[in-house]
Structure 1
Amino acid sequence: MSSAGRLPLEPSEGLGIEFSEVRAGSASEVKTPGSQGPLGGGRHDRVLDSLGARIVSGELAPATMLDPVQLSQHYDVSRSVVREVLRSLGSRGLLRAVPGQGTFVRERSEWTLLDPDVLRWRYQSRKDPDFLAQLTEMRLTIEPTAARLAAERRTDSDVANIYIALSRMEDPQASTSEHVEADVHFHQALLLAAHNELFENMSTIIEIGLRARDAYVHGSIELDEGDKLREVVASHRGVLDAVRAGRPKSAELAMRKLLERSAADIARVQNRAD
């Protein structure tokens, strides 16, 4: 590894590697909050997305009985599609089937709250700063540790993937959506660099939290406001530099500061709204 500090303009210089794409789920695999379901258009996914959001939002309250016939008519789909959807929602803890009585909405305490779809439906139903705060708390328990492990275990390919994402983030010509995609890829690449399979499996949840945060913040704060873009890039570069240099404690601290800055942005938007 080369010495710590800013990477050269040509990131392959001195690294002796070929770039590889970030291996975590791509943006096409995990939709942003408010999109039409995790898998796209089909009838099953359309009904699953709509019914799941109605339950999570509270439109369909706990103990509400769901009539498959009425649902089939309401969504203009076959009863077999409805049955599959009800099973899918049941597997997420949202529904309970009682033999001889019917299918009922379960209490919130019984939901699988870390299921990616449940997280997405929750944010989709209401732009809730409290929910964003909970996501930030979860990220604070995972990502600083992932950064520390990444500094200990990263490969040249890992460093290149993180750099690629950062270079896209610092492009002043990038649109807000392009900046968000680069931000997501940065955090995914960092989780992968920790070489911990359990952290890799958390990448989808981290992505949903990050997209929810970015949608909330970037919808209210322009990236160039008060040199905001440069501040954001600098905080991410601090993480990359520590990981690349193999400084675990510095990487952990830099990631913690980055997430605390993110929480401050959420608070700033909330204060404006108030």
Structure 2
Amino acid sequence: MSDPARDLPTEARRRPAHAQVAREMGIAIVTGRYPPGSNLPGEHEIAARRGIARSVVREALRMLGAKGLLESKPRAGTRVRDRAEWNLLDPDLLAWMFEGEPPADFVRSLFQLRLIVEPAAAELAAVTRTPAQLAAMDEALDQMALHGLATPEGQAADQRFHHLVLHATQNELLVSLAVTIGSAVRWTTIYKYRNSRHPRDPMPEHRLLYDAIAAQDPAAARAATVTLITEAEAATAAIVAQMAEGAG
């Protein structure tokens, strides 16, 4: 597995120092290097090892604590909290989980979440979408087709399309889930293309969903979304199974 500190993406290198440290430590926690119940090294040790100020470490630990990963107590140090207490819907946590090979149950849970939220959202969006939102969805699909989902540009367009569907519901609570759903779409897509040489093309299902929303057909929009997600889940599950066989 690559070293997160050495392979830090360009966009991440532009982040403040404490955010970079939080990312590296967050990856170490969610991928099991520091399992739940374990204690992290002290602030002084972390700072000395990385050649940074203790204030940077302190701010990084505060960020991780806000995401539910850590708790600090006087004289007891900083402990990794139980997984049930992590904010697993936090976009950073989703990204960190996929820095390694996430557990199959976790990947399955992401698709279950999508199946609960997105079909109903698409059904509503078919009724409430605006012409401007529909045009933006069409543009996102064009960018997906132009760049392909194996590229960062195509993946960003895919994420934008799913954001737009949720925004088109005009429901502020559903819109608040857009970042989480978009992150789930992005990282499962990256996972699929990272681990499969010939992944299935999901563009036909995306176009069917767009067509249903454009036609203001709620039932067709729901059905198209269910098909899109279940096809993606099946393709991803096959990759997970193949990787498990290879590891065995």
- TM-score for the superposition, normalised by structure 2: 0.86
**Equivalent in 9, 18, 24 of residue 44 of structure 1:** 18
3-state SS of the aligned residue for 1:58? coil
The corresponding residue for 1:56 is 30
Instruction: Measure, in 2, the Cα distance between the counterparts of 1:87 and 1:174.
Output: 38
1:166–1:183: 8 Å Cα contact kept in structure 2? yes
Question: Is 2:204 aligned against 1:244?
Answer: no
The corresponding residue for 1:222 is 198
Instruction: Measure, in 2, the Cα distance between the counterparts of 1:165 and 1:234.
Output: 14
3-state SS of the aligned residue for 1:125? coil
Question: Is 2:94 aligned against 1:124?
Answer: no
3-state SS of the aligned residue for 2:72? strand
Cα distance change of structure 1 residues 69 and 271 upon mapping to structure 2, 3 Å threshold: closer
| Greater relative contact order, per chain length (Cα 8 Å cut-off, separation 6+) | 1
Please list every run of 5 or more consecutive structure 1 residues that lacks an aligned counterpart in the other structure.
1-33
Alignment of 1:130-209 (within 5 A): 130-171=105-146, 174=148, 176-177=150-151, 178-209=153-184
3-state SS of the aligned residue for 1:213? helix
The corresponding residue for 2:228 is 258
Q: Provide, for residues 28-77 of structure 1, a one-character-per-residue CA deviation record: whole Å limited to 9, x for no partner.
A: xxxxxx85786843211111111111111221132314301001111211
Q: Provide, for residues 65-111 of structure 1, a one-character-per-residue CA deviation record: whole Å limited to 9, x for no partner.
A: 43010011112111111111111111111111212432222121221
The corresponding residue for 1:107 is 82
Name the stretch that deviates more: 200-209 or 264-273.
264-273
Question: Is 2:57 aligned against 1:87?
Answer: no
- TM-score for the superposition, normalised by structure 1: 0.78
1:55–1:105: 8 Å Cα contact kept in structure 2? yes
Higher helix share: 2
Q: Provide, for residues 160-211 of structure 1, a one-character-per-residue CA deviation record: whole Å limited to 9, x for no partner.
A: 011111122233x647213322221211111111111222221221122112
Identical columns (%): 33
Please list every run of 5 or more consecutive structure 2 residues that lacks an aligned counterpart in the other structure.
1-7
- Greater Rg over alpha carbons, structure: 1
3-state SS of the aligned residue for 1:195? coil
After the TM superposition, which parts of structure 1 deviate over 4 Å for at least 4 consecutive aligned residues? 34-39
Cα distance change of structure 1 residues 35 and 128 upon mapping to structure 2, 3 Å threshold: farther
3-state SS of the aligned residue for 1:166? helix
Amino acid corresponding to residue 222 of structure 1 in structure 2: H
3-state SS of the aligned residue for 2:71? strand
Instruction: Measure, in 1, the Cα distance between the counterparts of 2:205 and 2:120.
Output: 17
Amino acid corresponding to residue 234 of structure 1 in structure 2: P
Instruction: Measure, in 2, the Cα distance between the counterparts of 1:154 and 1:90.
Output: 38
Instruction: Measure, in 2, the Cα distance between the counterparts of 1:157 and 1:130.
Output: 38
The corresponding residue for 2:3 is none
Amino acid corresponding to residue 89 of structure 1 in structure 2: L
